[in-house]
């Protein structure tokens, strides 16, 4: 019975807090967040960090970085990518949105091969173009998202990402007053 009371209290507090915070999310806004991301070429999961700036409820843009590392018996591969993307947000329903994305990419792939007592290190860098799409769902100040991105470059790859962003409204409260 004690556990049920705790769950009910938690749900009520959650809804009160998120409904109060939803009213504060006026553009412009800042959206920092983290995500898990999967590289189809490396067949491994990495970490993604991003900060987006929302101009209005339709456009947001910003930088993001991702890092992957995969070890085999005789070698290790790491991948670092930096992106600058633009999202065009289409509201589908309350809190649910779809966005196509485009942007630029810079990738560094490093391979380390162990050959007995020696190590050989190979690096390749590439600039590219990002295209993709995603969905997001907003709960209070938290925006959950999942997206697909294809990088067109000499180090082309497909990325599947899921994560969360925290919404900080940069709108001035109370509006501006005109002086005559």
Distance from C-alpha of 12 to C-alpha of 62, rounded to nearest angstrom:
34
pLDDT, residue 158, reads: 98
- Is 127 among the domain residues? yes
Looking at the 3D structure of the chain, how many domains does it have? 1
Between CA 66 and CA 163 the distance in angstroms is 12
**Confidence (pLDDT) at 37:** 98
- For residue 34, the domain's CATH number is 2.40.160.20
Does residue 112 form part of some domain? yes
**162 in any annotated domain:** yes
Residue 116 falls inside a structural domain? yes
Q: What was the pLDDT predicted at 23?
A: 42
Say if 70 falls within a structural domain. Answer: yes
How far is the C-alpha of 122 from the C-alpha of 43, rounded, in Å? 19
Q: Is residue 12 part of a domain?
A: no
Query: Rounded to whole angstroms, how far apart are CA atoms 141 and 139?
Result: 6
pLDDT of residue 9: 53
Tell me which residues of the chain have a pLDDT lower than 70.
1-25, 173-180
Angle at 50 between CA 168 and CA 66, to 5 degrees: 165
Helix, strand, coil % in the chain, rounded to nearest 5: 10, 65, 25
DSSP state letter for 73: S
Residue 153 lies in a domain: yes
Residue range(s) defining the domain that contains residue 154: 29-169
């Amino acid at each position: 019975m004690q556990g049920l009371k705790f769950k009910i209290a938690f749900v009520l507090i959650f809804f009160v807090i998120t409904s109060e915070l939803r009213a504060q999310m006026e553009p412009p806004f800042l959206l920092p967040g983290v995500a898990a991301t999967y590289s189809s070429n490396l067949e491994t999961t990495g970490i993604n960090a991003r900060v987006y700036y929302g101009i209005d409820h339709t456009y947001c843009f910003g930088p993001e970085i991702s890092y992957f590392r995969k070890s085999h018996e005789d070698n290790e591969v790491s991948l670092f990518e930096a992106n600058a993307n633009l999202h065009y947000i289409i509201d589908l329903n309350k809190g649910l949105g779809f966005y196509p994305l485009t942007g630029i990419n810079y990738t560094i792939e490093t391979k380390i091969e162990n050959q007995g007592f020696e190590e050989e290190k190979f690096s390749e860098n590439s600039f590219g173009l990002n295209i993709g799409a995603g969905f997001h769902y907003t709960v209070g100040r938290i925006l959950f998202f999942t997206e697909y991105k294809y990088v067109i470059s000499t180090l082309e790859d497909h990325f599947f990402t899921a994560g969360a962003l925290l919404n900080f409204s940069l709108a001035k409260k109370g509006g501006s007053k005109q002086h005559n």
